[in-house]
Amino acid sequence: DAKTTQPPSMDCAEGRAANLPCNHSTISGNEYVYWYRQIHSQGPQYIIHGLKNNETNEMASLIITEDRKSSTLILPHATLRDTAVYYCIVTSAAGSYQLTFGKGTKLSVIP
């Protein structure tokens, strides 16, 4: 699996957009970008995933660069409940789909 690089921490003002970057320069053609988050010791929660195109769901948007070497997760209107560790994971859509978590980005949403 390709490795990812994320900043260890970020702050965001409540109500503003949170933009979380991820570098995955060694991603291969059949690997997807997944984003999960973990709110204080709870089980990780799926947010969104993508291959090449930008994606949006009710939780977030995922912007993937054309060369696929980096991506950005966007929480459009961050709330205090979005304070969590956000994990960018790159893995192929094959095998047993296990996830390899890194250290992620600790997002703190500030009132």
Partner 1 sequence: EPEVTQTPSHQVTQMGQEVILRCVPISNHLYFYWYRQILGQKVEFLVSFYNNEISEKSEIFDDQFSVERPDGSNFTLKIRSTKLEDSAMYFCASIPKGRPYEQYFGPGTRLTVT
Chain residues binding partner 1 by CB under 8 A are 32, 34, 36, 38, 41-46, 49, 87, 93, 95-103
d(CA 47, CA 10): 18
Closest contact distance (angstroms) between CB of 52 and partner 1 is: 14
- Residue 32: exposure state from Cβ atoms within 10 A (0-12, 13-18, ≥19): middle
Q: How far is the CB of 101 from partner 1 (least distance, A)?
A: 4
Say which amino acid occupies 12. C
Q: Name which of 11 and 101 has its Cβ closer to partner 1.
A: 101
> Please, which residue, 96 or 111, has the CB nearer to partner 1?
96
Q: How many residues does the chain have?
A: 111
At residue 82, what are phi and psi to the nearest 5 degrees?
-85, -5
- Kindly state the smallest distance separating residue 103's Cβ from partner 1, in Å: 6
Q: Which is nearer to partner 1, 58 or 111 (CB)?
A: 58
Residue with tokens 């997807």: 32
Nearest approach, Cβ of residue 37 and partner 1 (Å): 11
